[in-house]
Amino acid sequence: MRLKNISVIILLLTMTALAACQPDVKEGSDATDTATQASGKPNAPVTFKGSYSFAPGAKIFQFCNQTKQFWAVDSSAQLELKYSQLITFEQSGTPVYTEVEGYKIKSAATGDAAAYDSTIVVKKVLKLTKDLPADCK
């Protein structure tokens, strides 16, 4: 009986230790850098061109000439900063043209991103301007 109790305690401690080792991935954290494709390899950055808008509860990326929108996660810590330098708080939500490097992942099942099928994880901001090009509406 005593051996059984010790075995149960060891099992519980092992399960607790394993659970504690799991990364806690939060939106915008560096832990999103570890997102992987189905192959198990890290996602390679891709250049995305389109519009970006930021408002409380809305961080939206949309490819040029497409209607589908994506949730945007700013792991570069530059996208939201540069956006706020171009657009005043009163104008928040106004789209700007952007070129970014990043990758696309499946959106989280909960939170604001849950309303979108996919999330664009921004690793680097290449260009951000108020002027949307004619071929990007």
Q: pLDDT tens for the chain, 137 residues: list them.
A: 565 555 545 544 455 444 444 333 333 333 333 344 444 445 678 999 999 999 888 899 999 989 999 999 999 999 999 999 998 888 888 999 999 999 999 998 888 888 898 999 999 999 999 988 888 86
Q: How far lies 32's CA from each of 5, 21, 28, 78, in Å?
A: 40, 16, 7, 16
Residue range 45-129, CATH number = 2.40.50.540
Q: Helix H segments across 46-95?
A: 79-86
CA 109, CA 45: separation in Å to the nearest integer?
23
Contact assessment for residue 132 and residue 52, using Cβ atoms and an 8 Å cutoff: no
- Residue spans of the domains in the chain: they are 45-129
CA 116, CA 57: separation in Å to the nearest integer?
13
DSSP structure class, residue 90 = G
Identify the pLDDT of residue 109: 87
